[in-house]
């Protein structure tokens, strides 16, 4: 093989490529760091808010409204923590990973299901049957069915992703 010398223009473009690659990598790392810090502060603030709403729920023991708020806030904090985990995994691996996003979607869907069921149980306790409540009930049932299907799809997707990561020797034989 013969040694080929780079032309001055090729050497310059190679140098520019290296410098731009390092610059973009630094920008990416800084952005991940800033996002991580912002998400961590949101998680801390959300946890404090969940503690306060739990204290309010304990103070107003007969009212389940604060329990709904507390559960909603706790699940929101759990979603933020999962997103923070996703940012950390993306930072460590240098690529986006599907499973953490599916877990965040799963938590968000379950959170919404819990909020809908708790809110509808409160509406039924009031003992009022109006056309508005009937419409709210129908739309809530449709939303619950869609969310149930979405939860099943995400759980199946997580199962498939985890199954594809296992070595062939660990997989059950048919």
CB atoms within 10 A of CB 145: 10
Gyration radius from the chain CA atoms: 25
Q: What pLDDT sits at residue 167?
A: 64
Does residue 110 surpass a pLDDT of 80?
A: yes
pLDDT digits 0-9 by tens, 44-86: 999 999 899 888 888 887 667 777 788 888 888 888 888 888 7
Ranking 38-42, 60-64, 121-125 by mean pLDDT, the lowest is 121-125
Catalogue the long-range contacts made by 154-159 (C-beta closer than 8 Å, 24 or more residues apart): 154/102, 154/105, 154/106, 154/109, 155/106, 157/98, 157/102, 158/99, 158/102, 158/103, 158/106
Does residue 11 surpass a pLDDT of 70?
A: no
Does residue 25 surpass a pLDDT of 90?
A: no
**pTM of the complete model:** 0.64
Q: How do the domains of the chain map onto residue ranges?
A: 13-165
**Angle, alpha carbons 83-86-87 (nearest 5°):** 90
Give the pLDDT band (50/70/90) at residue 170. Answer: low
C-alpha–C-alpha distance, residues 121 and 105, integer Å: 24
């Amino acid at each position: 093989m013969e040694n080929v010398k780079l032309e001055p223009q090729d050497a310059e473009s190679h140098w520019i490529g290296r410098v731009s690659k390092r610059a973009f990598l630094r920008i990416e790392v800084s952005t991940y760091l800033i996002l991580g810090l912002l998400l961590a502060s949101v998680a801390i603030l959300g946890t404090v808010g969940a503690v306060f709403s739990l204290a309010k729920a304990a103070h107003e023991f007969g009212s389940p409204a604060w329990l709904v708020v507390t559960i909603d806030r706790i699940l929101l904090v759990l979603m933020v923590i999962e997103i923070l985990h996703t940012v950390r995994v993306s930072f460590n691996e240098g690529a986006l990973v599907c499973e953490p996003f599916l877990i965040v979607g799963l938590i968000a869907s379950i959170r919404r299901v819990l909020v809908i069921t708790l809110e509808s149980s409160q509406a039924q306790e009031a003992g009022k049957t109006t056309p508005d409540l009937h419409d709210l009930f129908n739309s809530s049932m449709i939303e619950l069915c869609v969310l149930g299907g979405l939860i099943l799809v995400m759980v199946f997707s997580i199962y498939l992703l985890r199954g594809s990561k296992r070595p062939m020797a660990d997989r059950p034989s048919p």
